[in-house]
Chain A
C-alpha cells in the first residue's frame, strides 16, 4: 500500500538553514546538510530545499549544498527558488537534485512548466504555489489568490484555476503553501488543500502551518493531501521524524517505518 509521505522543507539562505514566519523575519537556524542527513537517518521520506538567497551572485552556493546533500542522502529531494529556465533546472539536477520546484517564475511565464516537464520529465517538475485567502468573489471563485515573490506580490490569479492550469501544463506534483498558515504552527489550511486535492489527479503536498502531529493527521485525512511538508516542528527539535511517523501510524495513517 502506498504510504503518505512526510517531507521536510529546508529554506536555505546563502548556504545556511533559515526559518521565516509568514515569509518575513528570517533567522539562521543551522547547517542544511547536517539537518538533511539527520532527517534521512531518522526515516524522512523526502526533502525540499528552497533557495531564498536574495542576491543572485550567491546562488552558486546552493549548487554546492545540493552536491553535498546528494552525496549523503539517498531519498528523493527537490530544489526550488530562482528557477527561471530549463538551464537552471538542469544545473540543479546535475548537482544531484531529483526534482525541481517552480513558483513565481512559472506564474510570470507559465510555459516554464511545460518546458521543464519536457526537458526533465513531468514527474520531476513540481509546481509550488503560495496562496492567500481572499474570500470568494467573482474574481476569485475559489476564495484564494496566488501570490508571488515570497508572498509580497498579489497576482489576481485564482488559486484553483492555477492548480488546474499547472497540471495541464505538465506539473507532476503540486505544493499547496498557505501564506496565512506559514510559520504560525496553528495547522495547515485544510479547506484549501482539500479543494485542490479533490480537483486535480496529480499528488498534492500540503505546506504551511504544521506545529503538532495532529495537524499532519488532519491534512492527510480531511485535507486529502498525499504528503505533508514540515519545517519548524523538526528544525527546532520539538519532534523527531521518527516520533511523528510512529504517532501517525498509531492513528491509522500508513507511513514508511522500515528503513
Chain B
C-alpha cells in the first residue's frame, strides 16, 4: 500500500481526485489480496486447493474467520473426511452461518466434495442436519455387487445435463478424480448440472443453484481439466 500512496503528491492527498484514487487503489488491492477465501474447518488438505488456485492465477487465502469470509469476493468450500465432524467444526467456529450469509449476498461459492454434500439439507453420515442451501440429502452407496468397492475412488466421467458458464471449457464425458462413500440426491433435477455413474448408481456430480456451484469430484486433483473449472470459476460473475 505504501508504494501506491507514494505515487500521489501531498496536494493530491487532500484533493477529491486523490480520495477517488485512494478508494480505487484500495479496491484494486482488496481484489488482489482478498479475492478468494478458502474456508478452513479442519477438513482436509486445503493447501492442495490453494496451490491449484495459484496455478490458475487466483489469489486466495485460507481462513476460518467469519469476518474475512464475508469480505471475500468468492469463497471455496472444500472438504474431505466425515460430514459429521465437519458440521460440528463449522458450527463451533460460526462458519455455518457465515457461509449462508455469504451466499445471500449473491457472491459465488464453489463447493468441493464434502463441500457439495454439506450444502444439502441432510446427510445419512452420522444422521446430520446440514446447511440446507440446496434441497436434497446425501445417502451412502449400497451395492449388492461385491466387486463394486466403497469408497468410489478414481477417475470417472461426467454426463453434462446443461451448459453452465463454469463448464465453458469442459466437454461431456470428461473425466475427474472422485473419492467418496456418500452421494448427493437432489430434490430439483434442474440443479443437477452433471451426473456420473458408478455401478448401477447415477448420482449428481456437479450441482448449481444461482451463485452456488459444487463438484463431487476433487477438481484440484483432476489434472488440467480440473484446473480449467477452477479458472472459469475465477471468471464467473453470476
- Chain A interface residues toward B at CB < 8 A: 1-5, 40, 43, 45, 70-71, 74-76, 93-94, 96, 98, 121-124, 172-173, 201-203, 224, 226-227, 256, 258-259
Contact = CB atoms under 8 A, between A and B. Distances in A.
B154 A45 contact: yes
Given A70-B48, A224-B147, A256-B175, A123 B221 contact: no
A2 B151 contact: no
Given A93-B45, A121-B80, A201-B146, A74 B55 contact: yes
A259 B177 contact: no
B173 A121 contact: no
A74 B222 contact: yes
Nearest to A76: B221
A121 B156 contact: no
B214 to A, nearest CB: 18
B68 interface: no
Interface in B82-104: 82
Nearest to A122: B151
Interface of B: 44-45, 47-48, 51-52, 55, 80-82, 146-147, 149-157, 171, 173-175, 177-180, 197-198, 218, 220-227
Contacts of A94: 45, 47
B209 to A, nearest CB: 27
Main secondary structure of the interface of A (DSSP, over half): loop
Given A203-B149, A256-B175, A74 B227 contact: yes
Contacts of B197: 1
A227 B155 CA distance: 11
B45 A98 contact: yes
B81 A259 contact: no
Contact of A2 (B44, B47, B81, B154): B154
Given A74-B223, A74-B227, A45 B155 contact: yes
Most chain A C-beta atoms within 10 Å of own C-beta, residue among B180, B221, B227: B221
Contacts of B55: 74
Contacts of A124: 80
B175 to A, nearest CB: 5
5 contacts: A74-B220, A96-B48, A98-B45, A121-B81, A123-B80
Given A74-B52, A121-B80, A258-B225, A96 B153 contact: no
Given A1-B197, A74-B55, A96-B47, A201 B149 contact: yes
A259 B149 contact: no
A2 B198 contact: yes
Contacts of B152: 2
B52 A258 contact: no
A122 B150 CA distance: 11
A123 B177 CA distance: 13
A3 B175 contact: yes
Contacts of A173: 153
Given A3-B175, A5-B155, 8 more contacts: A1-B156, A4-B154, A74-B221, A75-B223, A76-B179, A96-B45, A202-B149, A203-B154
A257 to B, nearest CB: 8
Contact of B174 (A3, A202, A226, A258): A258
Nearest to B149: A203
Given A123-B179, A258-B225, A71 B154 contact: no
Contacts of B174: 258
A75 B48 CA distance: 10
A75 B153 contact: no
Nearest to B152: A2
Contacts of A4: 154
A160 to B, nearest CB: 16
A89 to B, nearest CB: 11
Contacts of A2: 152, 154-156, 178, 198
A122 B202 CA distance: 24
Contact of A71 (B51, B220, B222, B224): B51
Q: Which 8 interchain pairs have the tightest Cβ spacing?
A: A256-B155, A121-B81, A256-B175, A259-B223, A203-B149, A3-B155, A123-B179, A2-B156
A197 B175 CA distance: 24
B224 A123 contact: no
Nearest to B113: A123
Contacts of A259: 175, 223-225
Contacts of B157: 1
